[in-house]
Amino acid sequence: MKIFSICCVRDENDIVSEALEAALGWSDRIFVFDNGSVDGTWETVQAIASQNSKIEIVGHDNRIFTDELRGEIFETRRGVASPGDWWCRLDSDEIYIDDPARFLARVPNSYGFVLSATFNFYFTDVDLRNYERSPSDWLERPVQDRLKCFQNNWSEPRFVRHRNDLRWGGLVWPHNRDRTFPSRIRLKHFPYRSPAQISSRLEIRQSQPALFKHEANRTLATGLQPDWADEGLAPMQETASWRDRVRKAVECDVDRGDGIFITRDDLMPPLPSPAVDLVKVGLRRSHVGRAILSPILRWRRSQFGWR
């Protein structure tokens, strides 16, 4: 069993080294595409790739990011994989809690899809006070050392088992032609890391509100609840600043360095039920079933991005 990761990056220089170094521990190959970084990310990726042959840079240009980009990369590199291998949608601001190599090794052959349990780490009011005392000292520390407050409030597909007929659906993940494993793989996600980084993230993502719904305005969900529970396009309101993304530490759980991370199924999108999964797989394996499912799936993709 091998694991091949596809990673698209843009302006993540404060974390991309940590993320890639961590992923090198379990990825057999990492295919990296940079779409227009201007903060040193591109140079950092080149430096890491020059020292590790498992990282392959597949492109660098200034195109506007779309989810189809991962599918393009997959189609050009699909020949490296064999049935039973895995593909990972690797984001450059994520670090896994569970070792994917060990986790995927115990997934039975009857399952071909694995979802994440995403622990979103936030820049909080406490972090802001520490940052303002000495910004340079704050930024010199590794991201995992300086950000400790999180919520386990999101989940989405991260791994798909390779099949010879696998097609990347053009959205965030490939077509799910197999059953979804009933356990989620845990990972740390660091979307908001410093005032300058948050400002850059918002500027980039607010230019594409249809793709990045949760960054479309200044309002995020508050309290211990999902940030991105709204399935529709968020209405445009006042444009957010970095201060609008500062969380209250008291609303979050804390990483105390003891390795204990409790998943919150009540805050994450539900896993597909086994019955629905089996029906979907069965339908997709027949001409009549595909004819029934196709318009439904097209509508769901256009509305929510979910399969």
- pLDDT tens by residue, 245-275: 999 999 999 999 999 998 999 999 888 876 4
Burial of 256 (0-12, 13-18, 19+ CB in 10 A): exposed
pLDDT of amino acid 159: 95
260 and 170 co-located in one domain = yes
Are residue 42 and residue 137 in the same domain, yes or no? yes
Most confident of 60-64, 125-129, 219-223: 125-129
Amino acid in position 229 = A
User: CATH number of the domain that 176 lies in?
Assistant: 3.90.550
What is the band of 133 on the pLDDT scale with cuts at 50, 70, 90? very high
Looking at the chain, the whole-number percentage of residues with pLDDT higher than 70 is 77
**DSSP sequence for 90-141:** --TTEEESS-HHHHHHTS-TTEEEEEEEEEEE--BHHHHHHHHH-HHHHHHS
How far is it, in rounded angstroms, from Cα 201 to Cα 148? 20
Q: What is the pTM of this model?
A: 0.83
Instruction: Tell me which amino acid residue 220 is.
Output: L
Rounded to the nearest 10 degrees, what angle do helices 16-23 and 41-51 cross at? 30
The answer to whether the CB of 156 falls within 8 A of the CB of 194 is no
| CB distance 54 to 23 below 8 Å | no
pLDDT: which is higher, 228 or 21: 21
Query: How many structural domains does the chain have?
Result: 2
pLDDT surpasses 80 at 276: no
* 253 vs 229: which has the higher pLDDT: 253
Q: What is the mean pLDDT of residues 69-94?
A: 94
User: Domain limits at 50?
Assistant: 3-271
Q: According to the model, what pLDDT value does residue 12 have?
A: 96
Note whether 61 and 132 are same-domain residues. Answer: yes
Answer yes or no: do 184 and 115 share one domain: yes
Determine the 3-state secondary structure of 187 from DSSP. strand
Residue range 101-128: mean pLDDT, rounded: 96
- Per-residue pLDDT band for 219 (boundaries 50, 70, 90) equals low
Least confident of 9-23, 82-96, 122-136, 229-243: 229-243
One domain, residues 306 and 165: no
Please state, rounded to an integer, the average pLDDT across all residues of the chain: 84
